[in-house]
A and B are shown apart, each in its own frame.
Chain A
């Protein structure tokens, strides 16, 4: 076990499906060669096929005896081929035909956006953002024959050593969330690095910092002061995705409730809900039922004029309330030789905004 564990809570009742996290991550880390189809962070509509297509039915993770469970590799099409567009010929070259993607679109990471399900006249869906779970028992780590995947002792971040990875892709198969990607250019497997270069400098991860829905809470799971600890361990309203896959994720979700069905405006959250409970149980296990019940109880209390400590916590008025990034504390837990690997100057280049005014002070 690591000394500390950075963990994340995503409040699905605040997620608006805007994909700012997706682009924040893409522009920060996966904008390079061989990474076009790679979204370390994605947001998918559920119920849906997800990204990569059908990942949640591909297996992986551990069985009850803690053996790796068989799985398969998603195909290139399952990730969606990243389109390019030939604007210059149409706009500047006198070519009359409409601009088309360079390959026929058959799938994208967000192909079934807002499609969801439909039952007895009531459509339903919600948005599920996904990133590497930085599991406490990472199946990817277990599966790597070179031992090139490791869990950092000081903060629990799971990384693939880009120098030692040989691109066997056992990790991709083993991951039940299919959150590892193969880069054909570098010949290595790559995945979310939990923005460790940001965390080390006291800056929250790009997908977390840039989330305008403010659904994301970050901190040490083991620190009683962190919002994550409070939501997961004290209020116990945040659940991992597919817990039965046995990897013990460190990304947790506040499960979603949907508006009641048409014609039943006063129905309770578990009372013939619009969103089928069985599907939520499939995603988050049976534990989702008491959590939804508790959350809805708190919501009703607030709407009747009471004050809910839990919901006040989930409001997260400022970044300080949502993020607890503690580089010094984590650094202290770093084992000796590893500290050499950490940057000498954790301050790095200035984040100060430069004035472009041409006027004298």
Chain B
């Protein structure tokens, strides 16, 4: 509301007051009311005009009310949303008045799935409610910019689009022809949040042989336990399905902060008869409403979960029929080498089979091993056992093809034996997890007996080094009880908007020549190896570099650009002869969010000749780039939005044309394709034969191919292309989804494990449970036993508990979770959000940690370790756990840090078991399988900071650039 100062009181105007009020006021005595208004008082007393109305009952001057009615008006409303990778995918209405976007409000028109399930409305959070601030904010990139100072200085030269694009094209072309196309690297994230923008640049990378980087594993949002156990990337129920649960475990997932649009389903489920338990070191926003809160010691989650598995087994709560058919528990393991018994071991053969991928269970009736249908090498693709019941326990003798006899037992018996170790007993678990035995027992009992039971899992636990073990332990607890694959049950992991419902359409748009002609790169590995950053830990006496090199040599993991791996030593891995030369970043804040930030700036960043950022705001990566291209914001382009949290498609809409000189990503990469074609033409270069990807790139036609000969010139064209090429979105168009969010109509059985059914919340793995379709693993079952040699080497064939990687030099864990006030770095610098925090980056610490270091609330503090430091504000919080510090992630490096940034303390730690390949379902696949960029095991120290602090100064005039 913006109005002029109230007019001075007109001469002769009388104050009016009711008789009742006059009496009250006289009785009370005005002077007893404090304040600086004696002049008003005098005026009031002089000018009282006692009128005969009582405003409690009647008011004669209501004409003024039109004032606020006028404010509640607009010219038009356009549907759009935000794509910051929050997993929300919330449909919003944006209100336009006088050509300005004035505010936004949730569209709140998701259709209900059924009468029983609460609907998804209103879907959206406080951040979405003030995105307009970025559209017009001071961080907005308005024009193409070329760096005029050092990277990070913020000194720019405004240039034309042509100049910027020609510069970029010249460098990319030079790299392709003189250094190889694999020196051009493209980084963007999470297609589902804006698939058109995602595809814009990836499609160009594809056509010029560039390297497309992963994100889901790099950000450690990938739960590696899922590819290991289920052979999938991530499969979770849509959040409406929470309502079907009778037991919900919030484990490492603080839904009240990080799943704002969905949290209600949990609390409504509670009213519908679910018990909710929250497991987290700190008493967090979700714990507030839980039926039970377990303040677990950081890094002991897999111990607690395996204790639960033991309890389930010991107390007879194993869902035996389910476990026999749906898990690998009955499969036979050779005791001589700990490998699963295979068809090749015993000379088993059947037409159409691959005996090395056929596995066995023991048939007690015949006294012999029997091949299990549905395994990767078995010709029968069903889990139906046709009436026979494999043994879950027992030790048996089997004769191998060479005549030798070996002992075999079942996976279940192996598991049972392992869990009977003292460490998984209730009292030991309680002692090590820092919980009371009474609390643990109640939790175990509920988890074992309440059905359906689900774990809602998040980054809190997924960001540990041993995240694969943590995942697998939790998944085991809900599989043993038969909860996976049923509505209201399972292990449901929500970190990142990774799931693209119209997957086929997206792939066709992103990789028109097919994925096998594309260079893919796991970003964790790429960043680690191309920076001078070394994890000091040794694993089995060897450095991580040893395992990395072996994995790359084996062809298990890619590492671009290609080097002569046989001649490279582990020591050379951080200073390779062939290094990346150009990096293009869009829809992401690579640098700010990268683990090992200080090392990256000191090495990788220096090795790159060209860094380009396509962005609507000047984030940290843009600030540290050479060329910044102004992108349309979320409200200025046509795109799509979907998430695994719900089952609807809705659009990103162009509320207004792109502001200033900005353009939608789709157009920007189209122009870049044209610039590349022009450059090749200018230099008269021949087509580039790219043998590694089996393609000859004729770059003179780069734009024609990119735009499919002019058929894909706009974002809307691209959106329609995706919708038309996927069964999930059959019959939808960009136009129809603007009317209302539309539920997906079907699922592609290649990509999904359940149908989408009217009236039923989507929950994964009903194909397996209800239709006996095999799981996507080597054994065709939920596979808890992995006999890959590296898993055996590390003792991780079965899920076990391993403590976090230790760092005895520093006492406190550095905990950097997702929070309520930002989506990664987006909204971190939004003043509406900062005004509801403390205005500066803060680190939370327990009162005991503060007291022992002489730190007071709101002091400046220095957090440090061997990697770097961060100087920020302290906030003392009793709900925080002693022994760690928490700093919500995503703070932009330029905001408030007197030194460093939130990622200045971290480094990359690669876990060898996540480097494996060549094993049934465990093969490198972008964002599905590859090492995760974990960051929970980092340790730090904190002290009061007495150094200089930048001044709090009033605003200087804005820069018009």
Contacts and interface: CB of A to CB of B under 8 A. Distances in A.
Given A113-B837, A147-B18, A341-B62, A206 B77 contact: no
B77 A353 contact: yes
B139 A105 contact: no
B114 to A, nearest CB: 10
A301 B272 CA distance: 10
Contacts of A19: 126, 820, 836
A100 B879 contact: no
Interface secondary structure of B, over-half rule: loop
Contacts of B895: 85, 98-99
Given A87-B138, A353-B738, A103 B64 contact: no
A316 B285 contact: no
B954 interface: yes
Interface in A23-57: 23-24, 26-33, 35-36
B832 A302 contact: no
Contacts of A314: 271
A167 interface: yes
A23 to B, nearest CB: 4
Contacts of B443: 265
A357 B735 contact: yes
Contacts of A343: 66, 69
Contacts of B735: 355, 357, 359, 361
Contacts of A356: 78, 638, 653-655, 738
B271 A302 contact: yes
Given A89-B956, A98-B950, A145-B17, A265 B71 contact: no
Contacts of B68: 29, 193, 196-197
B21 A90 contact: no
A50 B837 CA distance: 13
B35 A84 contact: no
Interface stretch (B52-60, B306-314, B316-324): B52-60
Contact of A14 (B34, B51, B267, B878): B267
A102 B954 contact: yes
Contacts of B829: 85, 87, 99
Given A92-B618, A263-B438, A16 B285 contact: yes
A130 B289 CA distance: 19
Given A168-B40, A213-B263, A108 B117 contact: no
Given A67-B28, A142-B24, A209 B952 contact: no
A265 B442 contact: yes
B896 A100 contact: yes
Contacts of A115: 875-879
Contact of A108 (B59, B282, B820, B837): B837
A265 B439 contact: yes
Given A114-B285, A185-B5, A213-B263, A98 B898 contact: yes
A210 interface: yes
Interface stretch (B151-159, B198-206, B570-578): B151-159
B130 A303 contact: no
A212 to B, nearest CB: 5
Q: Which of A20, A145, A168 has the most CB of B within 10 A?
A: A145
B55 A94 contact: no
Interface in B463-513: none
A161 B64 contact: yes
B948 to A, nearest CB: 10
Interface in A113-152: 113-118, 122-127, 137-138, 141-152
Contacts of B289: 13-14, 16, 256
A99 B829 CA distance: 10
B236 to A, nearest CB: 19
Interface string A66-110: 011011110000001011111111111111111111111110111
A359 B953 contact: no
A96 B34 CA distance: 46
B100 interface: no
Nearest to A32: B1
A173 B1 CA distance: 24
Contacts of B438: 263-266
A340 to B, nearest CB: 7
Interface string B150-168: 0001111000000000000
A99 B654 CA distance: 31
Contact of B126 (A23, A96, A152): A23
A101 B5 contact: no
A145 B638 CA distance: 55
B824 to A, nearest CB: 17
B378 interface: no
B108 A209 contact: yes
Contacts of A23: 126, 129-130, 832
Contacts of B295: 262
Nearest to A13: B289
Interface in B783-835: 820, 829, 831-832, 834-835
A212 B6 contact: no
Interface secondary structure of A, over-half rule: loop
A175 interface: no
Nearest to A275: B288
Contacts of B137: 87
A16 B255 CA distance: 9
Contact of B9 (A99, A166, A264): A166
A26 B104 CA distance: 11
A101 B288 contact: no
Nearest to A89: B956
B76 interface: yes
Contacts of A27: 103-104, 129-130, 132
Interface stretch (B216-224, B273-281, B556-564): B273-281
Nearest to A167: B6
Contact of B836 (A109, A127, A262, A340): A109
Contacts of B30: 145
A61 to B, nearest CB: 13
Given A213-B263, A308-B271, A317 B154 contact: no
Contact of B835 (A80, A106, A317): A80
Given A88-B958, A197-B71, A348-B73, A258 B28 contact: no
Contact of B69 (A80, A110, A116, A197): A197
Contacts of B117: 317
B1 A206 contact: no
A150 B475 CA distance: 60
Contacts of B18: 147
B388 interface: no
Given A86-B953, A206-B105, A99 B125 contact: no
B951 A100 contact: yes
Contacts of A315: 118, 268, 271-272
Contacts of A104: 952
Nearest to B123: A212
B275 A303 contact: yes
A93 B145 CA distance: 12
Given A161-B64, A355-B738, A169 B264 contact: no
Nearest to B276: A259
Q: Which of A161, A162, A340, A356 has the most CB of B within 10 A?
A: A356
B124 A94 contact: no
Given A89-B956, A197-B68, A318 B121 contact: yes
Interface in B920-961: 950-956, 958-959, 961
Interface in B108-133: 108, 112, 115-119, 121-126, 129-130, 132
Contact of B271 (A28, A149, A312): A312
Contacts of B365: none
Given A14-B267, A263-B439, 5 more contacts: A16-B286, A86-B956, A108-B835, A166-B6, A214-B122
22 contacts: A16-B257, A20-B124, A73-B34, A73-B35, A96-B154, A99-B896, A100-B952, A116-B878, A125-B288, A150-B58, A168-B40, A169-B35, A170-B33, A196-B65, A197-B69, A209-B105, A209-B108, A214-B268, A303-B274, A312-B272, A315-B268, A317-B117
- A-B CB proximity, top 3 nearest: A32-B1, A150-B55, A118-B878
